Amino acid sequence: MIRFILKRLGSGLVVLFAVSALTFFLLYISSGSIARNILGDQATPEQLALKEAELGLDQPILARYFRWLVNAFGGDLGASWFTSEPVTSSLATRIPVTMTMVFTAMILIAIIATLIGVAAAVKRGWVDRVVQIGAIIGDSVPGFVIGVLLVTILAIQLGLFPATSTISPGSPPDAWVLSMTLPVIALLINGVTGGAQQIRSAVIKQLERDYVRTLRSRGIGEREILFKHVLRSAAPAGLTVLSLQLIGMLGGVVILEQIFALPGMGPLAVTATSQSDLPVVMGVVMYTVAVVIVVNLLVDLANGWLNPKVRTS
Amino acid sequence: MTESVETSALTPLPGTAGQTGTVVRSHILKRLFKNPLGIIAVGILLTMSLLAVFADVLAPFEENFANISKTLADPDGVNILGTDSAGRDVWSRLLFGARLTLLSALLCAGVAIGIGLPAGLIAGYYAGKFEAMSNWVVSILMSLPGLIVLLTIRAAFGPSVWIAMIAFGILISPSYFRLTRTTVQSVRNELYVDAARVSGLSDLSIITRHIFSVVRAPIIIQTAAIAGVAIAIQSGLEFLGLGDPSKASWGVMLSEGFKNVYLKPQLLFWPAFAMALTIGGLVLLGNAIRDALEDSEKIKHRKKPVVKGTTAAPAKTRAERRSVAAVDVGTEHHLLKVTNLGVGYPQADGSVKKVVDDVSFYVDRGEILGIVGESGSGKSQTAFSILGLLPDNARIVAGSIQFDGNYTVAPGDERVNQGRLSKLRGKRISYIPQEPMSNLDPAFTIGYQLVTPMVRVLGISKAEATKRAMKLLSDVGIVNPKRTFDAYPHEVSGGMAQRVLIAGAISCEPDLVIADEPTTALDVTVQADVLDLIRELQIRLNIGVVLVTHNFGVVADLCDRVVVMQNGRLIEEGPVRDILRNPQETYTQTLLGSMLEGKEPMTMLVSSSPKGAAS
């Protein structure tokens, strides 16, 4: 078990390394005019050269990457080229906002999609049809469009929620709840409709398995069969979908944070990439990829725990 | 998946790949157009494409033409959908936006197919190093958050929709890779692919002719989904203001509307509507194609019973003789009494397909009744109606079943009385299944699966049940009960698993055990042991057993009485000895004959008696 985790963490590190190298060299392509972008059009060639030396841009690319890598291992991701704010500290103020949204949405998706999916699989009939139609509608409208529509209708027209948030890490909980409700709903809808669909088909598939009939023949009640046996075997499919949705959400949340003016990682990512602010972009990319790696590891562990065949071998 | 097989069977001359291909496509297309949702989807997408292609002709204005004196105008004769905050015509921009959106979706899907499909074909067909390497690349690509990567790409290469879509195509190509690889793996070892290989076809022509035709339909479904995702991502980037500002796009229009949401929220509607309509069309198209494929498979499955129906016609003459064979169940008390039972499945056309018809027999305590017949004879359906474990769509169309004097299926009932049977199942009627491995839940230990029914049904404590489970395991001949108790199903052999299932069947001391082909899935060496075990337990516990089998050897070895079923009907009944010595029906004689010519060692036990009778 420990070997498995170490192995996965090791391959996660390799992925992080590969992604960091790729991102670094990609950003190198556009780093030619950075000094001018920072200092403006009036800057003299001397000032520009000075700035480039200050940022280390006069050094060869490999040396720059190597220095970034060494510093990153020491926990230092550098500072923004434009604002000079250390990357770690600007991430630290923004991560809580983004992750609160993403994980609240994930948990709600897991619960709601499971309930709906199981109901559709067991009851079939009209419940099933409603879920199917819901899935088509949910698939048809992109999350950020749902976000825009929610703000327009619920916040601007009806005034039920604040249209733009005013929260910061120190805000009281009720302000967080009020500001987060709409973006979380916008994140939820696609996830719930897609997830319910997956859970539905996984449950139907399990219900047709031979062992379910044998459990019934042994006098085990329907509810116990459903929630203890069927759901357990259907769960890996659901977890895999959930982890894929999380990856999608880390992107979707960027747009939603723009819409709701939430001080999360989204605005940071948009500004940094449009300025080619290399240290910040590297920080954002590394952090999101690390989250994905950890979540994928957790999903694999959960699937292993659910499936003794994986666990015992 | 199977439709290509089906069509090659239908085409009299298996011609070139192109010929078979068109046949398949026309089949699916025909079904697609029978489905109203399919027509709607194709209609939407076709309209969108036409609007996009003829945007230059249809749009009254250039995409960036701004009439500054007419901003945020309501719809009128000139600007049929109004103007935006810069005085640009909404309808014109919507048309040019459609062109950009559809082209970027095509580009993205094209790149993804161009990478994922060949890679998946090679990895699935040849496996080996290439597969291992691709899997690694796939796992990296799949752990990258798309939008963040696209933001980075934009930082590197500038605000080009086309570069963004190429990058997204690469990012999303694993979905094609995985789909193709799994599909190819599942057919790689099919017989017809082997046959093609043996007949000397090159790998390339096997891949193009046989394998490509199998992956084509799933690829189309996947493409519909991916084009939808690409549209969402592309619009999202444009919405963030990260696209090419000189191009009209739905994302930019949405963001423009959002900026003026207090002044003119209507501006939001058209781009949002266009997006939802296009993506919705793609989703519907994918669903409709999937349905069409599933329908064609259903029709293929349905073909079997049709063939059977024609052979069933002469069985009507047998039905006249049925009165001879039918058991006189009368009014006397039996442990299990099945009277004139009929089981059917409602069909799509409203008719009911009968799988069990007018079957009557009884079982008493202390005897083993064999139900013999070939597959499809209705013997398992009969067994499952006794247990009340028929599939949901099955209907009792006639007759009744009584257990120990109480109706579990009363005359006139459409369904089994689950309320009554759920109290009997496990406790008084139990079940030994056919396939030992698939009948144990792989996620729970064998011990758990033995103990829980006893706790639930008998109401005893867990400790007590554990003790009994150990005893049961050694009763069924398992040498090391403790180890088996703690094992998961995948850790024991098939024979051992069947012993566990037998232990489970007798754990709550039932009166009646239904055994459905209990030895068919086992090695011949284990079969005799398991049959001995059933016989021994049946005598010791004095229970009644219904043994469903296709094997007269098993019947001869184990049963006291036997009923023979064919095409859902009971055709012969009697004590085993009589039937073996003097079978009345030709069908029974055929079954007996096949047993004597068979290679199963069971036949040894009775080889002397029925040989003369059968010939």
Q: How high is the pLDDT of residue B331?
A: 64
Q: Supply the CATH number for residue A290's domain.
A: 1.10.3720.10
Let me know if residue A156 belongs to a domain.
Answer: yes
Longest dimension (CA), chain A: 86
Let me know if residue A15 belongs to a domain.
Answer: no
Residues paired with residue B352 on neighbouring β-strands, in sequence order: B346
Q: How high is the pLDDT of residue B312?
A: 38
ipTM score? 0.87
pLDDT under 50 in chain B at which residues? 1-23, 303-328, 598-615
Let me know if residue A26 belongs to a domain.
Answer: no
* Extended beta strands in B39-92, E state: none
Q: In what order do the strands lie in the sheet with B395-403?
A: B352-363, B336-346, B395-403, B406-409
Joined tokens for residue B596: 């004597």
Compare all CA atoms of chain A with the CA of B172 and give the residue at the minimum distance: A248
A211 touches chain B (CB under 8 A): yes
State the nearest Cα–Cα gap between B159 and chain A, in angstroms.
9
DSSP state of B516: E
B152 touches chain A (CB under 8 A): yes
Compare all CA atoms of chain A with the CA of B151 and give the residue at the minimum distance: A273
The CA angle B107-B139-A63, to the nearest 5 degrees, is 90
Cβ contact (<8 Å) for A292 and B433?
no
Q: What is the pLDDT of residues A102-143, one digit of tens each?
A: 999 999 999 999 999 999 999 888 888 888 888 888 889 998
Q: How high is the pLDDT of residue A171?
A: 75
A305 touches chain B (CB under 8 A): no
Let me know if residue A285 belongs to a domain.
Answer: yes
Q: How high is the pLDDT of residue B596?
A: 56
Average pLDDT over residues A85-112: 92
Distance of alpha carbon B313 from alpha carbon B320, whole angstroms: 13
State the nearest Cα–Cα gap between B270 and chain A, in angstroms.
12
Q: The tokens 């709409």 sit on which residue?
A: A182
A40 touches chain B (CB under 8 A): no
Q: How high is the pLDDT of residue B300?
A: 53
Pairing of strands B395-403, B429-432: unpaired
Let me know if residue A17 belongs to a domain.
Answer: no
Compare all CA atoms of chain B with the CA of A12 and give the residue at the minimum distance: B140
State the nearest Cα–Cα gap between A11 and chain B, in angstroms.
10
Cβ contact (<8 Å) for A233 and B148?
no
Q: How high is the pLDDT of residue B445?
A: 93
Counting the structural domains of chain A, the total is: 1
Please give the residue range of the domain that contains residue A112: 89-312
Instruction: Dump the DSSP string for B187-205.
Output: HHTSHHHHHHHHTT--HHH
CB B555 within 8 A of CB B595: no
A9 touches chain B (CB under 8 A): no
Cβ contact (<8 Å) for A255 and B240?
yes
Joined tokens for residue B324: 């001879």
State the nearest Cα–Cα gap between A174 and chain B, in angstroms.
26
Q: The tokens 């500004």 sit on which residue?
A: A271
Let me know if residue A68 belongs to a domain.
Answer: no
Write the single-letter amino acid at A207: L
Q: How high is the pLDDT of residue A312?
A: 60
Q: How high is the pLDDT of residue A59?
A: 81
Burial A288-311 (b: 16+ CB within 10 A, else e): bbbbbbebbbebbbebbebbbeee
Shortest CA distance to A193 belongs to which of A145, A265, A139, A127?
A139
CB B368 within 8 A of CB B538: yes
Q: How high is the pLDDT of residue B107?
A: 95
User: Measured between beta carbons, which residues in chain B are less than 8 angstroms from residue A13?
Assistant: none
Cβ contact (<8 Å) for B425 and A219?
yes
Of A144, A292, A307, the CB nearest to B145: A292
Cβ contact (<8 Å) for A148 and B272?
yes
User: Measured between beta carbons, which residues in chain A are less than 8 angstroms from residue B452?
Assistant: 218, 220
State the nearest Cα–Cα gap between A172 and chain B, in angstroms.
28
CB B159 within 8 A of CB B252: no
Cβ contact (<8 Å) for A214 and B440?
yes
Shortest CA distance to A222 belongs to which of B422, B455, B383, B421?
B422
Let me know if residue A141 belongs to a domain.
Answer: yes
B145 touches chain A (CB under 8 A): yes
DSSP state of B211: I
CA A219 to chain centre: 43
Residues paired with residue B361 on neighbouring β-strands, in sequence order: B338
User: Measured between beta carbons, which residues in chain B are less than 8 angstroms from residue A122?
Assistant: none
State the nearest Cα–Cα gap between B478 and chain A, in angstroms.
21
Compare all CA atoms of chain A with the CA of B507 and give the residue at the minimum distance: A218
Joined tokens for residue B584: 């009345």
Distance of alpha carbon B447 from alpha carbon B485, whole angstroms: 4
State the nearest Cα–Cα gap between A295 and chain B, in angstroms.
10
User: Measured between beta carbons, which residues in chain A are less than 8 angstroms from residue B503?
Assistant: none
Let me know if residue A112 belongs to a domain.
Answer: yes
A295 touches chain B (CB under 8 A): no
* pLDDT value at A216 more than 80: yes
Cβ contact (<8 Å) for B143 and A292?
yes
Chains A–B, number of C-beta pairs less than 8 Å apart: 210
Q: What is the pLDDT of residues B112-131, one digit of tens each?
A: 999 999 898 888 888 788 88
State the nearest Cα–Cα gap between A142 and chain B, in angstroms.
6
3-state DSSP call for residue B378? coil
Compare all CA atoms of chain B with the CA of A304 and give the residue at the minimum distance: B443
